[in-house]
Amino acid sequence: MSTQRIYNRVARLYDLLDLPFEYGRYRPIRRTLFEGVSGKVLDAGIGTGRNMAYYPEHGEVTGIDLSPAMLARAERRRERLGKTVDLHEMDVTKTDFSDDCFDHVVATFLFCVLDNHLQAPALRELERICKPQGRIHILEYAYSANSWKAFIMRLWAPWVRLVYGATFDRDTERYVEGAGLELVEKRFLFEDIIKLIVLKPR
């Protein structure tokens, strides 16, 4: 099943399914993700708009997603929060944006969903639309180095793949150099399973 179909199917239940993780781990991570983010910002893979509450007050934010059903949820959240966010149905591997147009790009678990053959094209596209002095901020899952935690994650993996089309082992960093990007920072924000990767155009 395509990613778009997966998220059109799960959209109405997405926030409910994610609720324990949102309150248990994601909220402080989202706050950290947007520290220092300003100017013209792209939220790539905006989903239902969970990041909106943490957007910079004086930034100009655009959100894209492949799923119209997820975007419909994001539209409702935008109205509820009173946010100014420009929303578009768009594929992150081939956007309609001009070169060098965003100061910051944020992708929250987007690359966990992208199959391996889409990782490099997506990174190359983000490099194209990010300003030369801009930054790309990626949140991504990874398997824990702790054998017990990794075992639990592997038990969850089939469910995560079925419901979200996502995996815990994308290893987006391996495609960074080939996409014309440079690693600025990498650190874990939740235990050793959720990491922040910050990139910049070379």
What pLDDT is stored for residue 2 in this prediction?
87
What pLDDT is stored for residue 16 in this prediction?
93
In whole angstroms, what is the distance from residue 74 CA to residue 90 CA? Answer: 14
Non-local (6+) Cβ contacts of 41 within 8 A are: 55, 56, 59, 60, 61, 62, 102, 103, 104, 105, 106
Query: What does the pLDDT look like over 64-97, one tens digit per residue?
Result: 999 999 999 999 999 999 999 999 999 999 999 9
CB 121 within 8 A of CB 89: no
- Structural domains in the chain, CATH included, are 3-201 (3.40.50.150)
The candidate with the shortest Cα–Cα distance to 109, out of 158, 46, 61, is: 46
What is the pTM for the complete model shown? 0.95
| Residue 138, amino acid | I
What pLDDT is stored for residue 1 in this prediction?
65
Q: What percent of the chain has pLDDT over 90?
A: 97
In whole angstroms, what is the distance from residue 138 CA to residue 197 CA? Answer: 5
What pLDDT is stored for residue 46 in this prediction?
98
Q: Where do we find the tokens 């994650």?
A: 153
Bridge partners of 160, per DSSP, are none
The mean pLDDT value of the chain amounts to 96
Query: What does the pLDDT look like over 89-139, one tens digit per residue?
Result: 999 999 999 999 999 999 999 999 999 999 999 999 999 999 999 999 999
CB 114 within 8 A of CB 138: no
